[in-house]
C-alpha cells in the first residue's frame, strides 16, 4: 500500500509542476514562446528563403549557401 501512496504523491507533484510551468509560460510578456524561438532558422544574412510554391517536392530541400 505504501507504493500506491508514493506513486500518487509523485504523480501529484508532476501535475503541480506541469501546471506551474504552464502558467509561467502563459504569463510571460514576450510575444514568442520558447517553442517558436527554438524553431527559428539560424541567421542566414546572405541567403534568401525559397517560396513554398517554387520549392521542389522532393525530400531534399537544402539551401545553397
Of the two residues 6 and 29, the one the predictor is more confident about is 6
Which whole-number Å values give the CA distances from 36 to 6, 42, 65, in the listed order? Answer: 36, 13, 24
Cα 15 to chain center, whole Å?
A: 19
Which whole-number Å values give the CA distances from 46 to 10, 20, 39, 49, in the listed order? Answer: 50, 41, 19, 10
pLDDT digits (tens, 9 = 90+) for 9-51: 999 999 999 999 999 888 876 666 677 777 777 656 545 555 5
pTM over 0.85: no
Q: Give the pLDDT confidence score for residue 2 in this predicted structure.
A: 93
Q: Give the pLDDT confidence score for residue 9 in this predicted structure.
A: 97
Which whole-number Å values give the CA distances from 25 to 6, 9, 16, 38, 47, in the listed order? Answer: 28, 24, 14, 14, 33
Q: Give the pLDDT confidence score for residue 7 in this predicted structure.
A: 97
Q: Give the pLDDT confidence score for residue 47 in this predicted structure.
A: 56
Amino acid at each position: 500500500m505504501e507504493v500506491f501512496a508514493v506513486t500518487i504523491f509523485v504523480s501529484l507533484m508532476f501535475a503541480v509542476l506541469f501546471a506551474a510551468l504552464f502558467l509561467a509560460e502563459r504569463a510571460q510578456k514576450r510575444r514568442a514562446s520558447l517553442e517558436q524561438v527554438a524553431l527559428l532558422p539560424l541567421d542566414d544574412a546572405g541567403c534568401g528563403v525559397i517560396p513554398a510554391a517554387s520549392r521542389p517536392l522532393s525530400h531534399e530541400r537544402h539551401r545553397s549557401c
